[in-house]
Every structure is written in structure tokens, then in C-alpha cells.
Amino acid sequence: MQFTAKQISDFLNGAIEGDETSTVSELSKIEDGKKGTLCFLSNRKYENYIYSTHASVVIVGEDFVPSQPVTCTLVRVKDPYSAFSVLLEKYNEALNQYTEQTGIEQPSFVDPTAKIGKNVFIGAFSYISAGVEIGDNTKISQQVFIGQDSKIGEKCTFYPGVKIYNRSVIGSRVMIHGNTVIGSDGFGFAPQPDGTYSKIAQIGNVVIEDDVEIGANTAIDRATMGSTFIRKGVKLDNLIQIAHNVDVGENSVVAAQTGISGSSKVGEKSVIGGQVGIAGHLSLARGTQIGAQAGINFSTIEENKQWHGSPAQPLRDWMRASVLFKQLPGIVKRISNLEAEIKENANQKEFSTTPKQ
């Protein structure tokens, strides 16, 4: 695929500076730019690259003022990062082999009672169970399992190896990456007098609302009773564990290796860093921000507040504590020296007051 600077500018409603006939066929980072590539400049700390890059076209902000000559063609837009993101999405759609495919590849199994919408693609070795409903323009790639009575909306994309357990409900425009499991058993066991554990039946389901994206190798457990909810617009990274009856609020973002324990509720527009652990039966306020590797063992009520550390504490307190933590070895050494000095002074005083024989 090849585009001119003018075509790109027209698509982004931008303004051109330079050769509008310059052509590009690839996207790249500005520091790796070469002839025939398109890149962008948003963060000013990368400005020096625009004077040395070999990229043919660079997207910049309307307010960008170069301090040196620029050899590439510039396309000026209001928000370079967002504009480049749009182009990345279009480029990805063009590369995505599932975008235009329709029909059912063989071998695969689709139960006669399943309802399949228009322009749906089902890849080879997939299994569509009884009572499943799949909306129009949804793409199910290879080796996907969809359990009985599950409902899938329109324009969804499931990548290879996705497993959807029975009675799951998934909205429209949901993207689920490879080997993710939706609706596996919640972790529920009752301790017995003899020290063993008896499994508690998990009879609920998982509900994923519209415009959600879920990364690879993530597991979302079905509810013990009722539903586990992933609300509209949520973005989940790879390798995340969402336990039974959790409710993740709208437009929240969760980074990799985070675990959210059973029955906890995450407020809308929350941001959770990588490797965060959240205990069960908690409620996090709207807009809560949690730094990487934090441990949350309490509910929060203040909106848009930042928490760091384990156990977590407000950002400002955590920063102070971090400074003190780095000073601990020196503090311990000084205390040891003071104790030794006090002991020595005490011994000298005792010696000086002892009567002569």
C-alpha cells in the first residue's frame, strides 16, 4: 500500500508543508525513519530526530516551530499522537487477515441451533456450541471454543485459542486476544473439618460490555451467582486474573499481571498498573490510580486519587517513605554507632565512680 502526503493530509484534515507528492508505504518511529516511511513527532524530547530522520513524511502539531531545516514533508494536525493512532488502526485493519474474510472454514463445528449473523467468519478447528448467537461482521479465528448459550455481539474479533465458557454474554466491538479464557470457574472452596476443601459450584456467568479489549492469556472467572462484569470501554492487558463476581467499571485500564480478587468493584475510569494485587470484597472509587506492584487491601472513597506501594498508601506519603527507605542503612549504622558510644560512656562512668580498694 502506498499513499501520498496529500492523501494522508486530506484523511487527517491536516496542512502540508513540503512535497505533497512524497509517497509512503510503511509506518515507523521517527528515530528509525527511512525513505518511504511515515512517522510522527508528539513529544518534544524527540525533536532532534526530525532534523536527521530519513522519513518521507512526518506528522507534527500545528504549533511545531522547527529550529533547524527539515528535509521531510510535514503534515500539521491538532494532535499528532491521535492522528498517528488513527493511521495505525487503518494500517492494522489492512494487514488483518480476518477483516474481510467471511464464511466457515473446515474442519470446524457449528451446532445447528446456533444463530450466525451476516458476514461472520469462523476459522478452522473452532467449535460453536448449541444455542450460541453471533452478531453480524464478527470474526472468530482458528481454534476458538464458544460454549453453550453464549451471546456474542457485532464486529467482535476473537484471536486463535480463545475459550468462551457457557452462557457468557459479550457485547459489540469486543476484541479478545489469543488463549484468553472467559467464564472459567471462580476460585471457591469450602474448608472441611478434616482439612480438605469442598468445591463450591460456580453457577453464574461473565458479562463483557461493548468496546472492550482483552489481552492474551487473561482469565476472567464466572460468578459464583450472578455475573462477573467487565463494563463498557474497559481495556485489559495480557496475563490478568479477574476473579468471580468482580465488577470493572467503564473505561478502566488494567496493566499486565494484575490480579483482582473475588467480589471487588473497580470504579469507572480507574487506571491500574502492572502486577497490582487487589484483595477481595473491596470497592475502589471512580478514577482510582494504582502504581505498579501495589497491594490494595482496603476500599477507597476519594475519587481520582493515586496509590502506591504495598500495602498501598497515598502517592505523596509513599514518595516520602521511599526516600526514608533508601536512608535506612545509614540510619541503622548511625544508631549502632550511637549505641556503642553510649555503652562506652556508661562503662567509663562506672569505672570512674568505682571506689578504690
| pLDDT for the residue 157 | 96
Least confident of 87-101, 141-155, 165-179, 263-277: 87-101
pLDDT(137) > 90: yes
Question: What is the architecture, at CATH level 2, of domain 103-314?
Answer: 3 Solenoid (2.160)
| pLDDT for the residue 2 | 86
Q: How many CB atoms lie within 10 A of CB 134?
A: 25
| pLDDT for the residue 97 | 61
Residue with cell 499522537: 81
| Top-confidence residue, 93 or 46 | 46
- Which residues neighbour 51 within 8 Å (Cβ) at sequence distance 6 or greater? 66, 68, 69, 70
> 54, 177, 244, 308: which one is catalytic?
244
8: left (phi over 0), alpha (psi -120 to 50) or beta: alpha
Q: Collapsing DSSP states into helix, strand and coil, what is residue 31?
A: helix
Class (C level, CATH) for 3-95: alpha beta
| pLDDT for the residue 348 | 76
pLDDT(98) > 70: no
Q: Is 244 a catalytic residue?
A: yes
pLDDT(323) > 90: no
Residue with cell 485500564: 253
One-character DSSP codes across 57-107: EEEEETT---SS---SEEEEES-HHHHHHHHHHHHHHHH-TTSS--EE-SS
pLDDT(257) > 80: yes
pLDDT(282) > 90: yes
Considering the chain, what percentage of its residues have pLDDT values greater than 70? 96
Q: For the segment 212-250, what is each residue's pLDDT rounded down to a tens digit?
A: 999 999 999 999 999 999 999 999 999 999 999 999 999
Phi first, then psi: what are they for 314, rounded to 5°?
-55, 150
93 pLDDT tier (thresholds 50, 70, 90): confident
How is the chain split into domains, by residue range? 3-95, 103-314
| pLDDT for the residue 90 | 80
Phi first, then psi: what are they for 197, rounded to 5°?
-125, 135
pLDDT(357) > 70: no
Mean per-residue pLDDT of the chain: 93
